[in-house]
Amino acid sequence: MTEQPLLRVRDLTVGFTTAAGHTDVVKHLEFDLPRGGALGIVGESGSGKSMTSLAIMGLLPKGAKRTGSIELDGRELTTLREREMQAIRGDRIAMVFQDPLSSLNPYYTVGTQIAEAYRSHRTGVTRREARKVAIEAMERVHIRDAARRVDHYPHQFSGGMRQRVMIAMTLSMEPDLIIADEPTTALDVTVQAQILDLLAEIRRDTGAGLILITHDLAVVSEVADQIVVMREGDLVEQGTAERVFCDPQADYTRMLLDAVPRIDDEIGLLRTTSEEDR
């Protein structure tokens, strides 16, 4: 018997109606995410990938119309009331957004924000207990001296460290599914690699499913088992990461792959530069 996937998406369509007419930004999207699996949703700006993540979270902007089916552990999410969805959001499904600085409140310490997010989903937990959870979560994402830095404000952290704080907030809830929407954007290459390694480590240690939203195929190559490629709301290619990278079927996927820097190209550039310097 085939195991039920953690997340099953069928015929998902998201559209907006304006004075100019109706536009679908996600069109009949379908995919499964197995328990503990990692899926990369890849596409350029306007492809519908972020709208897909917001549809799963039940956080679509006002005026959006969502049709189709989204099941978490066999439970249909699209028919839930907002109060029921709130109980799932942040608890069973958690999201890491693109810009941690705008996601964190500058007037509260990071520890307070992690602790209060935790308490909002755990009745009866004291502030002291939640603070301990916050420190432990910060330690798990490798923030040094967490017991002291828990009392720091967001502006006292670098961009990469703020993203670690957001991941710590997510991790404190012990979700079944983590959705990371462009989590490495605006970070330098070294910090990007550290954040991707951290997401892979969390997935491995907790067994949580992971959906990574990105415009960069090089990013998903580090983490994902399966890849969905989107363009203008359409699913243009889907398959294992190995198959998509080694044998892309769609011209659009090949174009995205051509944009990924290759080690041999970089070596050639370094050699050329070195020869010119002689």
pLDDT band at 262 (very low <50, low <70, confident <90, very high): low
199/269 same-domain check: yes
pLDDT of residue 225: 94
Give me the domain span that covers residue 137. Answer: 99-174
pLDDT of residue 278: 44
* Segment 71-88, tens digit of pLDDT: 999 999 999 999 999 999
* Distance separating alpha carbons of residues 247 and 9, to the nearest angstrom: 25
**Amino acid (1-letter code) at residue 187:** L
pLDDT band at 3 (very low <50, low <70, confident <90, very high): confident
Residue 166 or residue 261, greater confidence: 166
Q: Does residue 212 surpass a pLDDT of 80?
A: yes
Q: What is the sign of the dihedral through the CA atoms of 128, 202, 162 and 156?
A: positive
Kindly state the percentage of the chain with pLDDT values over 70: 93
Task: Find out whether 30 and 230 touch, Cβ atoms under 8 Å.
Answer: no
| Window from 126-140, 183-197, 228-242, 252-266 with minimum mean pLDDT | 252-266
**Amino acid (1-letter code) at residue 223:** V
Q: Does residue 254 surpass a pLDDT of 50?
A: yes
* Segment 22-67, tens digit of pLDDT: 999 999 999 999 999 999 999 999 999 999 999 999 999 998 999 9
* Segment 220-246, tens digit of pLDDT: 988 999 999 999 999 999 999 999 999
87/194 same-domain check: yes
In this prediction the pTM is: 0.89
Largest alpha-carbon pair distance within the chain? 70
Choose one of 152, 174, 196: the last residue of a domain.
174
167/235 same-domain check: no
| Domain total in the chain | 2
The average pLDDT across 161-183 equals 94
pLDDT band at 117 (very low <50, low <70, confident <90, very high): very high
Give the CATH number, domain containing residue 63: 3.40.50.300
184/274 same-domain check: yes
**Mean pLDDT over each residue of the chain, to the nearest integer:** 90
Choose one of 159, 174, 189: the last residue of a domain.
174
170/186 same-domain check: no
pLDDT of residue 253: 94
Cα–Cα–Cα angle for 14, 18, 19, nearest 5°? 160
* Distance separating alpha carbons of residues 156 and 177, to the nearest angstrom: 29
Could you tell me if residue 190 is left (phi over 0), alpha (psi between -120 and 50 degrees) or otherwise beta? alpha
* Distance separating alpha carbons of residues 179 and 5, to the nearest angstrom: 16
184/84 same-domain check: yes
The average pLDDT across 94-108 equals 89
